[in-house]
Amino acid sequence: MITGEIEPSVLRGPHRGERDGGPRRGSELRPASASKVTFSRRELDRILGLYGRKVAAGEWRDYAIDFLNDRAVFSVFRHSCEVPIYRIEKNPRLERRQGAYSVITATGLILRRGCELERVLGALDHAGGLRVVAG
């Protein structure tokens, strides 16, 4: 081994500060950060069901999921190299005020916001705007 190189296995094992028996320092004393906001399995099933129908219809092509500290975001893309055409967001801080769920367009326009995911996704789950009326 060349002088100045450290074998990777030397870095594993006890935490820093515990190797030499010394106390832990600054960043190691901080409490674990707050958990990230996520979608539940039921929420993801509903969102992915809508996504599958839109892909089958040729309207959507790709998606991305981001779990952030303050919100969870499901982004929908028409082409994978573009900005998302829609974002479905879950923001627990807004749950009591405006509702935790929202659908946002690429321009930042909020299409719908509410407490129930089913109703919020209804803004995207339209049949092309045409309806058959018996008459």
- In the chain (135 residues long), the average pLDDT of successive 10-residue segments reads 48 47 46 74 95 92 92 90 90 89 93 93 72 57
DSSP 100: S
pLDDT of residue 125: 82
- Residues contacting residue 37 through CB under 8 Å, at least 6 positions apart: 67, 68, 69, 70, 71, 72, 90, 91, 92
71 belongs to a structural domain:
yes
Quote the tokens at residue 107: 């321009």
pLDDT of residue 29: 43
98 belongs to a structural domain:
yes
5 belongs to a structural domain:
no
Instruction: Report the side by side order of strands in the sheet with 101-105.
Output: 62-67, 72-77, 86-90, 101-105, 110-114
29 belongs to a structural domain:
no
Instruction: State which residues form the domain around 99.
Output: 41-121
Domains in the chain, number: 1
32 belongs to a structural domain:
no
Q: Give 41-47 contacts, CB < 8 A, sequence gap 24+.
A: 43/90, 43/117, 46/117, 46/118, 46/121, 47/74, 47/88, 47/117, 47/121
68 belongs to a structural domain:
yes
pLDDT of residue 12: 46
19 belongs to a structural domain:
no
pTM listed for this prediction: 0.67
86 belongs to a structural domain:
yes
pLDDT of residue 7: 47
